[in-house]
Amino acid sequence: MHSLSGGEIKPFRAGRHSFYLAPVGIFKGREKYIVIMCALDHQWLTLCEVMGQPELAKDRRFATREDRIRNLPALIEAIEGWIRSMPSDEAAMDAMRARRVPMAPVLTVAEAVKHPHLRQRGTVRKVHDRILGDFELPGFALRFSDFPRPLELEAPFLGEHNEEIFTRYLGYDAGQVKQLERRGIVRKE
């Protein structure tokens, strides 16, 4: 949608935090949003150390996963407050990256479409449509060893292969196929 509309359509987020793990969600930084995925207790402890607030790990509001869920608004404020206290979102991400806290920036559609890693993997790929021309869209993110490259596919027009299907698989001749089309039994556009 973003590519086809020339950037006019801007998809947006629909939710920010997990309802069963914390802190797992999307946190607002100074300039952008950051996904933080501390699903395991040791990751939460590490994040507390990175934030320079190791006491948060022992705080009764945040000591267990259940406590963190129950006190999610306070947890979010603590993390987002730390991110805002940093010189930049990049500085906060660098600090987390250095200690292997699972996180990543939330990219806009425009950033994702241009991202070199996503392009190289084929997660964003250029396709050709006979009517619309060339445009980019999300590819299949998973890769299988027997299919190292994305398949080159082209959607057929309605009824484009009628004659081939009816003659090859059903034994009709070209005249019979044309008669089916004239009678409106099969369509071709």
Mean pLDDT of 149-155: 71
CATH of the domain at 98: 3.30.1540.10
Domain for residue 79, yes or no?
Answer: yes
Q: Are residues 93 and 161 in the same domain?
A: no
Within a domain: 36? yes
In a domain, 115, yes or no: no
Asked if residue 56 is part of any domain, the answer here is: yes
**42 in a structural domain:** yes
Number of separate domains in the chain: 2
Average pLDDT of the chain, as a whole number: 89
Beta-bridged to residue 33, according to DSSP, are 28
Question: Is 119 contained in some domain?
Answer: no
pLDDT 10s digits, 39-82 = 899 999 999 999 999 999 999 999 999 999 899 999 999 999 99
Above 80 in pLDDT, residue 107?
A: yes
Give pTM, 2 decimals: 0.68
Whether 13 shows a pLDDT value over 60: the answer reads no
Domain coverage including residue 77 = 24-105
CA–CA separation, 17 vs 27, rounded Å? Answer: 8
pLDDT at 3 over 70: yes
The set of residues, in sequence order, having a beta carbon less than 8 Å from that of 187 and lying 6+ positions away, is 158, 159, 181
16 within some domain: no
Angle 72-85/89-98 helices, nearest 10 degrees? 110
Residue 11 lies in a domain: no
Contact 19, 70 (CB under 8 A): no
